[in-house]
């Protein structure tokens, strides 16, 4: 461990406060729709928080429920009335494909008296893996894998996903007609754009096939002839804002990245620290964002400006990684290692970067801690932090020095959480 237990406990307390504030059981009751007067209530959904959302809905809903939600392998929770299915994430798998087809079957044949409650959170895009007609699961896996490694933003990735899907980009909502649809969302995207969360299966899509083709070209994504032909066809286009089928639909946000940061700030004040929330929607290359925040932290540590110590800098959003090396890790580990390199052992600065869902990329850790001894600790184990970063091997670096944060599933997902403690 390269920092004292006091600093680590402070950072962990802030993270736990952030995650706790975004728990579905804590925030769902105030956002429930009016139950149908005489029809059925069918529940569908997908995401890393979907099982916890289903469990919370069952605890607060006054009438019988039926339905099916998908969540990531390892993220299931027991429900009495709603079936929970686990599937692949971040790459889609056959479990997700089969379950997504069953989701469409759940909402078919409904009447105007029925209500569909759709529970959506981050991760839903990969889990609802139903390729558009003429495409295969292998097509979707290949395009998704390339995009995740390219450094593309989640908005760009989901633009492509929507146009390769038979269920995302508003198509699930169309399948529910003429039933009323109430979407309950937990946001994991910058700006809380409802059409980006889980690729917007129940809301109109403002993006176009042309936008999707532009993303593929921008990041030099190689696609099959079937994918390219599909994106040039009329059937790939998604339903747009103003489509009459969405008139009886409502969308309510249960929790957002700002929900988590406000809770962390309140916890910081209880611990005698002054919190400064920089933004809840930071985007960019992980190591570049780290360099920018390191410059701010060093100025505070050296000059007590623009903020006075002791303080903590909080931020959310989603940074990206352009994967060029063979290592393991996610954007939060990459940020943490980049921050340690930019700080160069600066005294009095510690940090935690972690994903609020408990999974940094595709690894088993939520993120990582850094402190003044992070670089020296690596050196003592025969590691060079710069080489590890160049190899995209933040997981290997932090696991070796004992500074991974491993939480297991948190059952919510409000994007990345970063706290920089300056004493």
- Is residue 66 pLDDT above 90, yes or no? yes
How confident is the prediction for the chain on average, in pLDDT? 96
pLDDT in tens, 298-351: 999 999 999 999 999 999 999 999 999 999 999 999 999 999 999 999 999 999
Q: How many residues does the chain have?
A: 423
- Which CATH number, 3.40.50.1220, 1.10.10.10, 2.40.128.90, 3.40.50.10180, labels domain 24-255? 3.40.50.10180
Q: Average the pLDDT over 279-295 and give the result.
A: 97
Sign of CA dihedral 6, 7, 12, 14: positive
Cα–Cα distance for residue pair 101/76, rounded to 1 Å: 19
Contact by Cβ (8 Å): 165, 234? no
Q: What is the pLDDT of residue 237?
A: 97
Q: Which CATH superfamily is domain 5-19+258-422 in?
A: MOFRL domain (3.40.1480.10)
In percent, how much of the chain has pLDDT > 90? 97
- Is residue 415 pLDDT above 60, yes or no? yes
Nearest-CA neighbor of 351 among 363, 343, 360?
Answer: 343
Residue 4 pLDDT grade (very low, low, confident, very high; cuts 50, 70, 90): low
Domain boundaries, the chain: 5-19+258-422, 24-255
- Is residue 271 pLDDT above 50, yes or no? yes
Q: What is the pLDDT of residue 3?
A: 47
pTM, to two decimals: 0.94
Residue 2 pLDDT grade (very low, low, confident, very high; cuts 50, 70, 90): very low
394-401 and 331-343 helices cross at what angle (nearest 10)? 70
pLDDT in tens, 90-144: 999 999 999 999 999 999 999 999 999 999 999 999 999 999 999 999 999 999 9
- Is residue 1 pLDDT above 90, yes or no? no
Cα–Cα distance for residue pair 164/147, rounded to 1 Å: 13
Cα–Cα distance for residue pair 33/184, rounded to 1 Å: 9
């Amino acid at each position: 461990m390269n920092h004292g237990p006091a600093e680590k406990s402070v950072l962990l307390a802030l993270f736990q406060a952030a995650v706790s504030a975004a728990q579905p059981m804590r925030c769902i009751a105030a956002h429930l729709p009016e139950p149908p007067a005489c029809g059925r209530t069918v529940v569908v959904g997908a995401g890393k928080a979907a099982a916890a959302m289903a469990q919370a809905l069952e605890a607060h809903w006054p009438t019988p429920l039926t339905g099916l939600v998908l969540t990531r392998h390892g993220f299931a929770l027991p429900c009495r009335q709603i079936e929970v299915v686990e599937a692949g994430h971040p790459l889609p798998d056959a479990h997700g494909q089969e379950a997504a087809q069953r989701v469409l079957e759940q909402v078919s044949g409904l009447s105007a008296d029925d209500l569909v409650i759709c529970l959506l959170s981050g991760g839903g895009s990969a889990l609802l893996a139903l390729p558009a007609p003429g495409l295969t699961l292998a097509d979707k896996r290949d395009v998704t894998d390339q995009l995740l490694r390219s450094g593309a933003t989640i908005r760009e990735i989901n633009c492509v996903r929507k146009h390769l899907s038979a269920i995302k980009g508003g198509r699930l909502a169309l399948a529910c007609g003429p039933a009323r649809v109430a979407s309950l969302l937990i946001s994991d995207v910058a700006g809380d754009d409802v059409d980006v969360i889980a690729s917007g299966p129940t809301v109109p899509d403002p993006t176009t096939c042309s936008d999707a083709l532009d993303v593929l070209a921008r990041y030099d994504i190689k696609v099959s002839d079937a994918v390219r032909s599909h994106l040039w066809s009329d059937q790939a286009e998604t339903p747009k804002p103003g489509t009459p089928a969405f008139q009886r639909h409502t969308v309510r946000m249960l929790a957002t990245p700002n929900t988590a940061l406000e809770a962390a700030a309140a916890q910081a004040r209880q611990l005698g620290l002054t919190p400064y929330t920089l933004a809840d929607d930071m985007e960019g290359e992980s190591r570049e964002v780290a360099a920018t925040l390191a410059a701010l932290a060093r100025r505070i540590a050296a000059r007590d400006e623009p903020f006075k110590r002791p303080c903590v800098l909080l931020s959310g959003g989603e940074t990206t990684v352009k994967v060029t090396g063979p290592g393991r890790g996610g954007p939060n580990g990459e940020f943490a290692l980049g921050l340690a390199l930019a700080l160069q052992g600066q005294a009095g600065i510690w940090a935690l970067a972690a994903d609020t869902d408990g999974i940094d990329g595709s690894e088993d850790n939520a993120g990582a801690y850094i402190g003044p001894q992070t670089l020296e600790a690596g050196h003592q184990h025969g590691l060079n932090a710069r080489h590890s970063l160049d190899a995209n091997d933040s997981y290997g670096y932090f696991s070796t020095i004992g500074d991974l944060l491993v939480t297991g599933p948190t059952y919510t997902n409000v994007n990345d959480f970063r706290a920089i403690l300056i004493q």
